Structure 1
Amino acid sequence: MILKDAGTAEEPFFDRKLRELAPLDKKQAAAFLLEFVESADEKTCKAASALKKNKKAAAFLSSVLDLSPYLRNALLRLPAIIDPLFDRPLDVRLQELMQEIARVTEVENATETSIMTALRQKKLEGHLLIALGDLSGQSDTKDTTLFLSQLAQACVEAAVRFLLRDAHNAGKLKLPDVQHPDKNCGWIILAMGKFGAFELNYSSDIDLIVFIDEQSPAITDPYECVETFSRLTRRLVRILQDRTADGYVFRTDLRLRPDPGSTPLAIPVGAALNYYEGRGQNWERAAMIKARPVAGDIEAGKQVLAELAPYVWRKYLDYAAIADVHSIKRQIHAHKGHGEVAVRGHNVKLGRGGIREIEFFVQTQQLIAGGRFPQLRGSSTVAMLGALQGLGWINAEARDTLAQKYGFLRDVEHRIQMIADEQTHILPEDDENFRRVAYMMGYRDTDTFTEDFRKTLKTVETHYAALFEQAQDLAGEAGNLVFTGDVDDPDTLETLANFGFERPSDICRVIRTWHFGRYRATQSAESRERLTELTPVLLKAFGATSRADEALMRFDEMIKGLPAGIQLFSLLQSNPRLLDLLVLIMGAAPRLADIITRKPHIFDGMLDPAIFADVPTRAYLAERLTSFLGPSKVYEDVLDRLRIFAAEHRFLIGIRLLTGAIDGARAGKAFSDLADLVIDSALHAVIDEFKIKHGEIGGGRIAILGMGKLGSRELTAGSDIDLILLYDHDVDADESDGAKPLASSQYYMRLTQRLIAALSAPTAEGVLYEVDFRLRPSGNKGPVATHIDSFRKYQRTEAWTWEHMALSRARPVAGDPAFFTEIEKDISEILALPRDSSKIAKDVAEMRAMVEAEKPPRDDWDLKLVPGGIIDLEFIAQFAVLTGNVNGPVIAQSTAEVLGKISPALAEPATVDTLIEAANLYTGVTQLIRLCLNGDVRREDFPPGLVEQLCRSCDLPDLQRLESQLQDSAKSVRKIFDGIMGEARKRSRQV
């Protein structure tokens, strides 16, 4: 896609060939360019006159301003940033910038505040220049990631030098050479991950591990050194990632260090080496492949990595390492090959055919063979593909294709992040932002980009599977599989053990039960024949799961409940993808397994390979619901069809979530959209049926308010739904006009009761939704249907704080669309009423304390109730809404979206970032747990397959790290909650 310009090395950036980018809107692009030129002229920048002469540069810049809101806002504020590019090349200017960053600590009387300001300004300049190089086509993927990594390193080095000198001046350290503070300082800063490999993405976090060389001459008190360097590390993180008026430098993550839940931020080298050699895990070995010293005591850092080399690069693999490689392969199979891939909403990093698949394979092969082949000890993904080809592990075509596709995917990732400088890897779903990405990639239309992107994913996925097939076969050959007679065949037991089963004798007994026709599903000879042919494939597939025995027993329960088996067994035999998916469900999701066991027909929805290609948007679901209901007019038939449709699509949305096709936030929106459509259809069916006997009320209108998680579009697979029914009618309409007229209030009360029955009555097709109407005015004591005037009056004059908090998540979900607009206006006005922040803070804090006392969390995984959990986040968002501290509308917004709109007056941007990160983490984990498990299940009851899926969805290597991150997030959220409520009450007392 990117072609380097053939110009001379000295040729200025804007004189070289620039990629022609199509703007979203030519008029808008021209207006933005004019605004930029005026800003540049006002600040006497060279760019103002230069762009008037250089039409090519002007056209390029106008498109950039139109396509990237982030770059536009920065360039309009700081037009002088591009001035140097009119007289020198980009790489020359970037090298100058790195030198300027290095000198920020040389300024006399430099302070932490001045350093923070300088680094933020320089980093922003570097960010903009690197983006222009990338978008123009003058920098290829390798250049872009290298420049970004060098920029990060320069900033870290500068901050570290300042902190070392500061510690020296304070008497905490005694540096051997104050002019070169890094030398022999004992503070070792290792870059990990993409930072370590010079592969940072555009809006990347930086991963660091900090060690202490206790033998350093700079350390004056060995007993205090851990505290000293931990404090310095804490200050380093603050300098780099705290948001100020100038933004931030780099978000910084220290959680890759050994045992982050119980170790200090800076760890002595001796303790670290003991950890890695005694307790280090294979994923930590893989992480160390990309480690490199980037700041502080570089020589000591190199020595540490040299000492760790035997740990990372083992001559022989032990059995635990082999098991971990199998685990990695399981993660691959968990989301591989399930039909077409949706482009919009696809995770370019973690999704099928994405960046991580290429990186994962390379690192796995490095772990397997790097001990014997030093050529495989590099950190660059593309370079290591070349090394693998050189050793004959892959062919030249695979090397070249994967390298090219890796570059393409990284470029897409960068453009996604250039829209708003957000650390996201998900392609936008909306038309406008999707076009931004396509056009920034150099495309003129989204269809061609979509086709190329999908082809890339398919190509990566195909090579990925082939690469693992070519890799060393660690499982060995299958042996005997004999299940005749009553006595276990010894060779069969051995084969089952090799497959991964811990209780081979029990597995033999189960399979004999199938073959002897003791279940209804296996009574026919043809059914048993199909199952016998399928058995070796089933055993190999289930054997690859974490707890093969449990997964196969769950499958046995499913077969036991089937009325017939021939159809399912034939499907599984002819469709390996369905088998992989079924194995995933049995190993990770007992709740979904129970659904299939009770209603096998629900699995039919999986036969459409396009379900993974289609993001389950409201329009997508509405189209399918209309088609499924067809011409049905009979009341009971309509309700039964709605129950079937809702059950099937809840299942299919869940499957998309389980396989990683969509994330937790997207699943919440999909579950909510499905509920909206089904409730609306049920309401209209009830109204039509009710009219037959009781007629209509003059001017009658109905709207159903969705509350709680339905209102905020965060439903989970097993959520109840909270509703309020509002109605209105003509002032003089006292009763309905039907054969059996009813007074207006009684009419709507009876209609509501019919709706509740339609939604929640158990039938042969199940229950649509468990519904709760207790959030209506006056709760259970009041009528189930509420006149709009009563609702308005109650909310304005009588409602308690908690009811207004609940109202902040309300939205109309079904009924009369014209009525929706009025209700939304009412809700917005009620939420905007002036309130005493101190009283609201007091009410919120008391309510949280009451919930905590009456409903304590079961354990740390009770993410709703745990201190600093989901309730705290929801209460913070609701407090912000009620006190006027949210910028923009909140109706139909998730908790994370509302938190993202909190004004700086209530919480600093860095605090808001922490809240959003916690909300997204909790959402991802909660959605998967609610999908896979029934009821309130404790951590010890998690199936191993679910544990793997949770780690995959959070992009964390193991459960320990996930639990550590959950605990850290909870502590941070609770601290912020207490701070916001306490500060609000304190300010009020001062007034």
Structure 2
Amino acid sequence: MSGISKAANADAPFFSQVLRELAPLDKKNAAALLREFLAHAAEKGCGFSSALNDNKPAAGFLSAVLDLSPYLRGTLLQRPQLLDPLFERSLPQRLEALLHEISAGSDAEDLTEADLMTALRQHKLEGHLLIALGDLSGVFSADDATFWLSRLAEESVGAAARFLLRDAHAAGKLKLPDLKHPEVDSGWIILAMGKFGAFELNYSSDIDLIVFIDEHSPAIPDPYDCVETFSRLTRRLVRILQDRTADGYVFRTDLRLRPDPGSTPLAIPVGAALNYYEGRGQNWERAAMIKARPVAGDIAAGKRVIAELAPYVWRKYLDYAAIADVHSIKRQIHAHKGHGEIAVRGHNVKLGRGGIREIEFFVQTQQLIAGGRFPKLRGSRTVDMLAALEDLGWIGEEARDTLTREYWFLRDVEHRIQMIADEQTHMLPEDDEEFLRVAHLMGYRDGESFAADFRAALTTVETHYAALFEQAQELTGEAGNLVFTGDVDDPDTLKTLANFGFERPSDICRVIRTWHFGRYRATQSAESRERLTELTPVLLKAFGATSRADEALMRFDEMIKGLPAGIQLFSLLQSNPRLLDLLVLIMGAAPRLAGIITRKPHIFDGMLDPAIFADVPTRSYLAERLENFLGPSKVYEDILDRLRIFAAEHRFLIGIRLLTGAIDGARAGKAFSDLADLVIDRALQAVIDEFAVRHGSIKGGRIAILGMGKLGSRELTAGSDVDLILLYDHDEDADESDGEKGLAPSQYYMRLTQRLIAALSAPTAEGVLYEVDFRLRPSGNKGPVATHIDAFRKYQRNDAWTWEHMALTRARTVAGDASFFPEIQEDVAGILAMPRDASKIAKDAAEMRALIEAEKPPSDAWDLKLVAGGIIDLEFIAQFAVLTGNVEGPVVALSTAEVLRKLKPEFVDPATADRLVEAANLYTGVTQIIRLCLDGDVKREDFPPGLGDLLCKASDLPDLDRVEAQLQETAMSVRKTFDSLLQKAKK
């Protein structure tokens, strides 16, 4: 929301800018009106006549405005001096000054209500004129015009509210804490609704308000009187804004959006309002609350109310009433869909077919359905939410772009209609001359061209609007036969399948007959087969649209084969096209995930929770679910099996969030790492408890596990193994554990660690928790798997190699005795802060990188870890910076990108640091997707087609070739920085 068109020079005087050329209806009349205006201006002492006469384009523009808009003509003839500032200042500058005048005026001493009403009307008239000139001239876009109109309304409401609050304080009705800022803690909550709330006001719009009362405000002396007090203030507020006087009006004001307006006061206590919305609120009221915004009065209290209403507006589960409302509206759509050509003259731009309301409803419906799961969809502005819907994959780019374009086109038409006479109308005139007047205000030379463009816009909007409610299961009329009875393939069905995109239609027929004959457990019940039969056409169409349709459908068949039952899944897919799209995406783009579902269909159960995309998988979220899942389990093997099931399911669900764009690669890395922390910690506790049954415990014994590598930096991917170091401590006089079979401390912790490794990595019927690697421990494979903290300190301070200290920059305590953690982290921080020879570190790092390149060259340009300038180079830069003291602040538990973001400017200039951070983010986004979708190393030419789309989305680039080019360009830049930094340090 800029408020200033990109096309405008923010500092140039308005009349010095290139103004859009408008054609008057009558050139002679326009010229006469201009002469009359200049004469009025001279009488009023305005000094711009000569400047305007010398500026032919500006004079021509102004004469056309005078001819085309009776309302603007009346304003200009009445107050020509309003143009004076525009010969020296830009429109945004003058408008900002005007808004300041409105705000400051309400603070004047001895201000009367009559004085305020006069001032607000005069300021509004000037604002209206300036915004109209900006809009018609092209200096403002429609977006800018709606923004400034909304700002004008906001300042007007705010000024009136401050005046009324001070007046109530003077009368003893309120005890305001701060008379200089009367709105603060006043308890008077004024919410802007609709277009006002969304900064989308139209030119002659009324403003929708809802007024609440914070009964607990310190400004309210008697809570029992507050409803009457604030209702009276609200009534006066409306009168100040909308009563017509000799100076006109400010804004027509509508309070009917409040709860149950027929039986509730104008100002409603917050508690009563919340009870109403929770108990009786309707879906249209939920939709209205999407755009709610506190604009005046107690802003802080207003924000709290909006936050409290969030669960009501943004529901985690789509309720049946909302679905019924959607289908009811769908029936209304179908009543007019395709019924002849749309009439242009007399058409309602806002409410008619293909109008503004249809675009708004197109957006708001999907916001209501999905906003609970996707916080990104909780915005109030229509065009912003079109972009968010496309970003999340709910609509395509074409829908976003065309609806955005037509939305602003229709808003322009709406504004031109209203500029003619300042009437709150949305109807295009039927009269020839008046219709032509709108066309000319739009910049057209004739009515026919405008009518054609207008009709095309309506048709485009109507098409998208109606398509929103098309049944996902409906096939186009040209689909053809889909017959799967008997044992012989139907020839027309084979043609239909081929048209859908299947290369082996006969094999597909055989698969579907297997479903229909009930040969799988999931299709044995008649009801299950019935649901699957109804779903089959849309399944075939969806899979046929993928690039490898046969392969994707076969993966789906494997999944069905493993399901214990199918009715729930088939019903869900039938009623939830988004979930079907996701399943098709997995089968077509993510062989690794498809394989997981095929081997363990139960893992898909987590997808049945509609809230999955709303709940970001934070550590607390995962911890709560882990505790619930483990429940009262006490048996060792049962605990481990439950951990395996939980870890597998939540790795999958984190991956699904990543796949759909609900979280990005960096957030996924943190979630995968948090999951590993929690599971490893619970596995360790189970191992300790089980081990103690026979071997007891060591006196004063403490255990902590250091996460290293990507676990330490919280950058795990879906397929990462985990690098661990187990550290322990105990009392000095502890000789042996106190169990039935006592063990010396070193032997005790060594065997316990081996038991932990087995618990984490041993294959079982429920799979493997994690592949673990303990090779980063002191002395590597030669040393014991468990290390005493004193030995760890001594080794790291005296004997560790540079590469081991580089690895230690990512060390983080992840499991074990929490009381042990601070001591270990303090040790790690002390070791990392030891003075070092930067040139030696640089030499060692360069040699290590060269050795890796020689022994493990990259397989291709997509081997982002090993490629020159890839992930290893970035990690080395970050680790080198940490070891040489070139990072601001602590570095524990930071990702590579986060470390790079904190590089000191004397180490690397900020622009280069920014490029390194961008590189890390790009690599993270791409790597997370690839590791999620693929098993092992896969060449570019073998990428599933759907994976390419995901990589483009993660990289924010249009095609895979550009992604590859961006990766190569980034790698070259990183390698150049890597070489430069190390070379510089060696000197």
TM-score, normalised with respect to structure 1: 0.57
Q: Helix, strand or coil: the match of 1:611?
A: coil
Distance 1:485 1:736, change over 3 A: same
Change over 3 Å in CA distance of 1:970–1:872 after alignment to 2: same
Unaligned runs of 5+ in 2: 5-74, 86-93, 110-125, 131-147, 157-194, 201-365, 416-425, 427-460
Instruction: Report the Cα offset of residue 571 of structure 1.
Output: 3.9
Residue 685 of structure 1 is matched in structure 2 by: 686
**SS in structure 1 at match of 2:633:** coil
Q: Which amino acid aligns with 2:952?
A: C
Distance 2:382 2:937 in 1: 29
1:903 aligned partner, one-letter code: K
- Provide closer, same or farther for how the CA distance between residues 587 and 387 of structure 1 changes in structure 2, counting only shifts above 3 A: farther
- Closer/same/farther in 2, CA of residues 482 and 931 from structure 1, 3 Å limit: same
Query: Does the 8 Å contact 1:653/1:671 carry over to 2?
Result: yes
Superposed CA offset, 1:212-269 (max 9, x none): xxxxxxxxxxxxxxxxxxxxxxxxxxxxxxxxxxxxxxxxxxxxxxxxxxxxxxxxxx
1-structure distance, mates of 2:376, 2:862: 32
Structure 2 counterparts to residues 344-355 of structure 1, below 5 A: 353=385, 355=387
User: Structure 1 358/700 Cα, relative in aligned 2: closer, same or farther at 3 Å?
Assistant: closer
Structure 2 equivalent of residue 917 of structure 1: 918
Q: Does 1:673 align with 2:705?
A: no
Question: What are the superposed Cα offsets for residues 692-750 of structure 1, whole Å, 9 maximum, x if unpaired?
Answer: 21121111111100000000000001100000000111111121122221111111111
Q: Which residue matches 1:635?
A: 636
Instruction: Output the amino acid matched with 1:602.
Output: I
Whether 1:699 and 2:700 are equivalent positions in the alignment is yes
| Residue from 83, 96, 99 that aligns with 1:16 | 99
Measured after TM superposition, the shift of residue 808 of structure 1 is 0.3
1:956–1:962 CA contact under 8 A, matched in 2: yes
1:558 maps to amino acid: M
Q: Equivalent residue for 1:741? A: 742
Structure 1 residues 975 and 592: CA distance shift in structure 2, 3 A: same
Deviation track 1:158-208 (CA, whole Å, cap 9, x = no partner) reads xxxxxxxxxxxxxxxxxxxxxxxxxxxxxxxxxxxxxxxxxxxxxxxxxxx
Distance 1:133 1:835, change over 3 A: farther
Give runs of aligned pairs for residues 357-376 of structure 1, distance below 5 A. 357=389, 364=398
Distance in structure 2 (CA, Å) of the matches to 1:913 and 1:505: 55
Are the counterparts in 1 of residues 367 and 377 from structure 2 also a CA contact under 8 Å?
no
Contact persistence 2:709–2:723 (CA under 8 A): yes
Question: Counterpart of 1:288?
Answer: none
Q: State how far apart, in whole Å, the 2-side matches of 1:567 and 1:595 are.
A: 19
> What is the SS of the residue equivalent to 1:860?
coil
**Structure 1 residues 352 and 677: alpha-carbon distance in aligned structure 2, compared to 1, 3 A threshold:** farther
Identity across matched positions, percent: 72
Cα distance in 2 between the residues matched to 1:521 and 1:594: 18
Q: What do residues 435-479 of structure 1 show as CA deviations (whole Å, max 9, x unaligned)?
A: xxxxxxxxxxxxxxxxxxxxxxxxxx99977556689x9965422
CA distance in 1, matches of 2:650, 2:101: 47
* Mapping 1:220-231, distance limit 5 Å: none
* 1:562–1:600 CA contact under 8 A, matched in 2: yes
1:552 paired with 2:550, answer no
Q: Deviations over 1:422-442 (max 9, x none)?
A: xxxxxxxxxxxxxxxxxxxxx
Distance 1:631 1:518, change over 3 A: closer
Secondary structure in 1 matching 2:724 = strand
Q: Letter of the aligned partner of 2:99 in structure 1? A: R
| 1:824 aligned onto 2:825 | yes
Deviations 1:466-510 (A, max 9, x none): 556689x99654221012234432322332233333443332233
Alignment of 1:418-429 (within 5 A): none
Within 5 Å, give how 1:440-455 maps onto structure 2.
none
Partner amino acid for 1:680?
Answer: D
User: Paired residue for 2:511?
Assistant: 510
2:400 & 2:651 partners in 1: Cα distance? 41
Residue 682 of structure 1: how far off its partner (Å): 0.8
Indicate if the aligned counterparts of 1:918 and 1:969 stay in contact, CA closer than 8 A: yes
Please tell me the residue identity of whatever aligns with 1:16.
L
Aligned pairs for 1:830-849 within 5 A = 830-849=831-850
CA distance in 1, matches of 2:858, 2:383: 33
Cα contact 2:399–2:464 (8 A) shared by 1: no
Which residue is equivalent to 2:343? none
**2:415 equivalent to 1:383:** no
CA deviations 1:937-989 (Å, max 9, x no partner) are 12122111111111122221111111111111111111111111111112xxx
Task: Give secondary structure in 2 for the equivalent of 1:591.
Answer: helix
- The higher radius of gyration belongs to 2
Cα distance between partner residues in 2 of 1:54 and 1:519: 81
- Whether 1:754 and 2:755 are equivalent positions in the alignment is yes
User: Quick one: distance in 1 between partners of 2:766 and 2:845?
Assistant: 41
Residues 17 and 870 of structure 1, relative CA distance in 2, 3 Å threshold: same
Q: Distance in 2 between matches of 1:912 and 1:922?
A: 15
Q: Distance in 2 between matches of 1:956 and 1:510?
A: 37
Shift of the alpha carbon at 1:633? 1.3
Question: Which residue of structure 1 lines up, in the alignment, with residue 373 of structure 2?
Answer: 341
Amino acid at match of 1:778: S
Contact 2:657 2:663 (8 Å CA) reproduced: yes
Report SS of the residue matched to 1:888.
coil
Give the secondary-structure state (helix, strand or coil) at the position aligned to 1:867.
coil
The one-letter code of the counterpart of 1:343 is P
Tell me how far 1:899 sits from its aligned partner: 0.5
Match for 1:341: what amino acid?
A: R
Helix, strand or coil: the match of 1:612? coil
Q: Kindly tell me: are residues 750 and 366 of structure 1, through their superposed partners in 2, closer, same or farther at Cα, counting changes over 3 Å?
A: closer
Q: Letter of the 1:642 partner, please give it.
A: L
1:496-645 matches, cutoff 5 A:
496-522=497-523, 527-645=528-646
1:803 aligns with 2:804: yes
Distance 1:353 1:651 in 2: 28
Contact 2:562 2:600 in 1 (8 A): no
- The residue aligned with 1:444 is none
Amino acid in the other structure paired with 1:600? P
Shift of 1:772: 0.6
**Amino acid in the other structure paired with 2:746:** S
What is residue 663 of structure 1 aligned with on the other side? Answer: 664
Indicate how the Cα distance of structure 1 residues 761 and 385 shifts in structure 2: closer, same or farther if over 3 A, else same: farther
TM-score (norm 2): 0.57
The 2-side partners of 1:336 and 1:869 are apart by 42
Which amino acid is the alignment partner of residue 364 of structure 1? Answer: E
Q: Matched residue of 2:728: which SS?
A: strand
Residues 475 and 538 of structure 2 are in contact (CA less than 8 Å); yes or no, is this contact kept in structure 1? no
Q: Measure how far apart 1:343 and its partner are.
A: 2.5
Deviates more, 1:534-543 or 1:562-571: 562-571
The corresponding residue for 1:417 is none
- Residue 363 and residue 686 in structure 1: after superposition, are their counterparts in 2 closer, same or farther (change >3 A)? closer
Q: Which residue of 2 aligns with 1:216?
A: none
Residues 802-811 or 351-360, more deviating: 351-360
Amino acid at match of 1:651: F
| CA separation of 1:338 and 1:495: change in aligned 2, threshold 3 A | farther
Number of residue pairs aligned between Structure 1 and Structure 2: 620
**Structure 1 residue 889 and structure 2 residue 890: aligned?**
yes
Cα root mean square deviation, aligned: 4.4
Stretch of structure 1 that moved more, 587-596 or 509-518: 509-518
Structure 1 residues 512-555: Cα deviation after superposition (integer angstroms, max 9, x where no partner): 33334454544555544443232112112222333322221221
1:335–1:352: 8 Å Cα contact kept in structure 2? no
Q: CA 1:904/1:143 → structure 2, altered by over 3 Å: closer, same or farther?
A: farther
Matches of 1:847 and 1:936, distance apart in 2: 23
Alignment of 1:187-586 (within 5 A): 340-343=372-375, 353=385, 355-357=387-389, 364=398, 382-384=407-409, 386=411, 477-522=478-523, 527-586=528-587
2:440 is matched with which residue? none
Which deviations, in whole Å up to 9, do the C-alpha atoms of 1:603-650 show, x marking residues without a partner?
Answer: 111111111111110011111111111111111111111111111111
Distance, in Å, in 2 between the alignment partners of 1:474 and 1:521 is 25
Structure 2 CA distance for partners of 1:808 and 1:837, relative to 1, 3 Å: same
CA contact (8 A) 2:197 2:380 kept: no
| 2:856 corresponds to | 855
Letter of the aligned partner of 1:909 in structure 2?
Answer: P
Distance 1:751 1:880, change over 3 A: same
Distance 1:915 1:464 in 2: 42
For residue 691 of structure 1, report the CA deviation from its aligned partner: 1.6
Q: Which runs of 5+ in 1 are unaligned?
A: 21-49, 56-87, 93-129, 145-333, 369-375, 391-399, 401-460, 987-991
